[in-house]
């Protein structure tokens, strides 16, 4: 009755890309129009899974940023700040609906440009981005109810700089609350992933949002610096690396600019011996391999209670066997491409550091495409708190595993980091959850789950993971005085 060979392969299921509309060249979206960069410079954006060029993107100069800020200021003064709040809400709702209508196209472009698996961009990034607009649209005419006993006012022009790991979602996190609170926006997407923000600009244009309320300027670090240093910007919202966050913090000293920074992390994912072990393993996988580990709150420092450490590591390796690494457009793919060659280099550097530090490395043995930037899911055991790979943010699919004996010990170790963005706690005991969550110094703590996001839930960090919160009412407050 037994077949000698029961091997069963899933069917490759590539999402077609023929129906998406990409221009060959993208200009800057300023004052409701597409404008060529003043120095006529463009750069290529590529598909990290194939290294093929997707489009050319305008490189905004200081003058272009100035133009954008002027447009935003004008729109703020003349239109957006004086518009009835209920009217503002209508525009934001309209953007949300249009995004939903374009959900499939947005998901495909996100995957093409950033390398993340289509399953994630389709099921997580794009729906969440839409939900942020819906959520904040609802608050736009209820600001007084949201903050009673306060005479609230919008800030003015917000300069927003976002990273490459969740391009559209981060744009939504930044733009939606800013608009709902009555501000206008100059947003710069990350250099390697500008396309969905530009697609969003097309959607915003189609929504009839008054010109200048949202301006999208593409470019590199210089463009970002021009935004940060622009004297007529009232608020800087930045998500990205801690190094750049520190530069921003320095450059706004002595100005009246408000700042919120959402920076790096090295978040502790803590598994206690009474945890639901198979679900914890699932949470470990989701915590570190979600979006190739390009997640600021990735659960990259795993702490497992010593009594169950062998079992957890064994089960984790077993679970890794059913991860599919490969073409991000394939619906079966769990782990897609690393966002850029540069980032792949960084990850490989840290993997080598781990090996040289004497940690035990385990990598999933799987085929990876010969072209494009790919990294096998990697875990390190035999790691100490003092290992470099356990201290520094790697921003890739690389997990360090440490063991601990007591709860007090793990609280100390988890907090023993310059970062404090997120943490995960796995236990069957409610009292332990509350004990740990009250003592861990992290902005977001998940219990028996990981990497869960919701527009109603604030997100942000402690210490060098930044300050200010995004999402929920906290996120709205960041755009009000």
Partner 1 sequence: MTAQHNNFTTIPHSPSIDKVGVEERVARFQTRSIKGPSKMQGLSMVLSMIDLTTLEGKDTPNKVRQMCYKAQHLHDFQEGLPTVAAVCVYPSMVSVAREALKDSTIKIASVSTAFPSGQAPFEVKKMDTQFAIDAGADEIDMVISRGKFLAGEHAFVFDEIAAIKEICGAKRLKVILETGELATLDQVRRASDIAIHAGADFIKTSTGKIQPAATMQVTYTMLMAIRDHFDRTGKMVGMKPAGGISTSKLALHNLVMVNEILGEAWLSNEWFRFGASSLANDVLMQYMKQVTGKYQSADYFTID
DSSP code string of 262-299: E-----EEEE-TTS-HHHHHHHHHHHHHGGGG--TT--
User: What's the min distance (Å) between Cβ of 12 and partner 1?
Assistant: 7
For partner 1, which is the closer residue by CB, 382 or 448?
448
Closest distance to partner 1 from the beta carbon of 427 (Å)? 9
> Residue 231 or 430: which CB sits closer to partner 1?
430
Side-chain-facing half-sphere of 47: CA atoms under 13 Å: 18
Q: Least distance (Å) from partner 1 to the CB of residue 452? A: 10
Complex with partner 1: residue 45 or 333, whichever CB lies closer: 333
Here the tokens at position 103 are 């959900």
Judged by CB, which is closer to partner 1: 308, or 389? 308
Element (H, E) at 57: strand 52-58
* Smallest separation, CB 447 to partner 1 (Å): 10
- Rounded least distance, CB 217 to partner 1, Å: 37
**Residues 6 or more apart whose Cβ sits within 8 Å of residue 157:** 69, 72, 73, 76, 183, 184, 185, 186, 232, 233, 234, 235
Catalytic residue among 130, 296, 297, 375: 296
DSSP 341-396: HHHHHHHHHHHHHHHHTTPEEEE------SSS-----EEEES--TTSHHHHS---S
Catalytic residue among 15, 262, 393, 477: 262
Nearer Cβ to partner 1 (11/82): 11
Query: Which residues of this chain interact with partner 1, rule CB under 8 A?
Result: 1-3, 6-13, 119, 274-280, 282-283, 314, 318, 322, 330-332, 428, 448-449
**C-beta neighbour count of 407 within 10 angstroms:** 16
How many CA within 13 A on the CB side of residue 4?
0
Closer to partner 1 by CB, 7 or 19: give it.
7
262 is catalytic: yes
**Nearest approach, Cβ of residue 476 and partner 1 (Å):** 28
Nearer to partner 1 among residue 63 and residue 428 (C-beta): 428
CA 403/CA 7 separation, integer angstroms:
37
Cβ within 8 Å of residue 258, ≥6 positions away = 155, 234, 235, 236, 478
**What's the CA gap between 171 and 195, in Å, rounded?**
11
Max CA distance (Å), the chain: 79
Q: Cβ atoms within 10 A of the Cβ of 77, count?
A: 14
Q: How far is the CB of 274 from partner 1 (least distance, A)?
A: 7
Q: What is the DSSP letter of 255?
A: S
- Please count the other Cβ atoms lying within 10 Å of the Cβ belonging to residue 7: 5
Distance of alpha carbon 357 from alpha carbon 433, whole angstroms: 33
Give catalytic residues, as residue numbers.
Answer: 262, 296
């Amino acid at each position: 009755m037994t077949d000698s060979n029961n091997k069963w392969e899933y069917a490759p299921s590539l999402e077609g890309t023929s129906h998406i509309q990409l221009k060959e060249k993208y200009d800057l979206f300023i004052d409701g129009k597409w404008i060529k960069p003043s120095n006529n410079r463009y750069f290529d954006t590529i598909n990290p899974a194939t290294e093929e060029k997707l489009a050319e993107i305008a490189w905004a100069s200081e003058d272009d940023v100035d133009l954008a800020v002027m447009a935003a200021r004008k729109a703020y003064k003349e239109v957006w700040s004086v518009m009835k709040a209920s009217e503002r809400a209508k525009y934001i709702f309209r953007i949300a609906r249009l995004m939903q209508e374009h959900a499939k196209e947005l998901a495909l472009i996100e995957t093409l440009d950033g390398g993340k698996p289509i399953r994630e961009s389709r099921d997580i990034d794009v729906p969440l981005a839409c939900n942020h607009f819906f959520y904040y649209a609802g608050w736009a005419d209820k600001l007084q109810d949201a903050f009673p006993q306060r005479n609230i006012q919008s800030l003015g022009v917000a300069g927003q700089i976002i990273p490459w790991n969740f391009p559209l979602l981060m744009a939504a996190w930044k733009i939606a609350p800013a608009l709902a609170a009555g501000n206008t926006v100059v947003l710069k997407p990350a250099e390697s992933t500008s396309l969905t923000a530009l697609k969003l600009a097309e959607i915003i244009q189609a929504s009839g949002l008054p010109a200048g309320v949202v301006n999208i300027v593409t470019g590199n670090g210089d463009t970002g610096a021009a935004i940060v240093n622009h004297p007529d910007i009232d608020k800087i919202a930045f998500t990205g690396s801690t190094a750049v966050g520190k530069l921003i913090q320095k450059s706004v000293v002595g100005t009246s600019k408000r700042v919120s920074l959402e920076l790096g992390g090295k978040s502790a994912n803590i598994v206690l011996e009474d945890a639901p072990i198979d679900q914890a393993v699932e949470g470990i996988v989701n915590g570190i391999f979600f979006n190739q580990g390009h997640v600021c709150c990735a659960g990259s420092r795993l702490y497992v209670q010593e009594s169950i450490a062998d079992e957890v590591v064994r089960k984790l390796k077993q679970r890794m066997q059913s991860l599919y690494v490969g073409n991000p457009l394939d619906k079966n793919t769990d782990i897609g491409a690393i966002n850029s060659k540069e980032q792949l280099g960084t990850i490989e550097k840290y993997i080598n550091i781990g090996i040289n530090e004497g940690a035990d490395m385990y990598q999933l043995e799987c085929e990876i495409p010969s072209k494009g930037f790919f990294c096998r899911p990697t875990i390190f055991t035999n790691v100490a708190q003092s290992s470099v790979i356990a201290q520094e943010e790697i921003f890739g699919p690389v997990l360090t595993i440490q063991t601990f004996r007591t709860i007090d010990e793990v609280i100390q170790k988890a907090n023993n980091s310059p970062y404090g963005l997120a943490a995960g706690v796995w236990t069957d005991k409610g009292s332990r959850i509350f004990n740990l969550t009250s003592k861990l110094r992290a902005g977001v703590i998940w219990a028996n789950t990981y990497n869960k996001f919701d527009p109603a839930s604030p997100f942000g960090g402690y210490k060098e993971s930044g300050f200010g919160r995004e999402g929920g009412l906290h996120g709205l407050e960041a755009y009000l005085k």
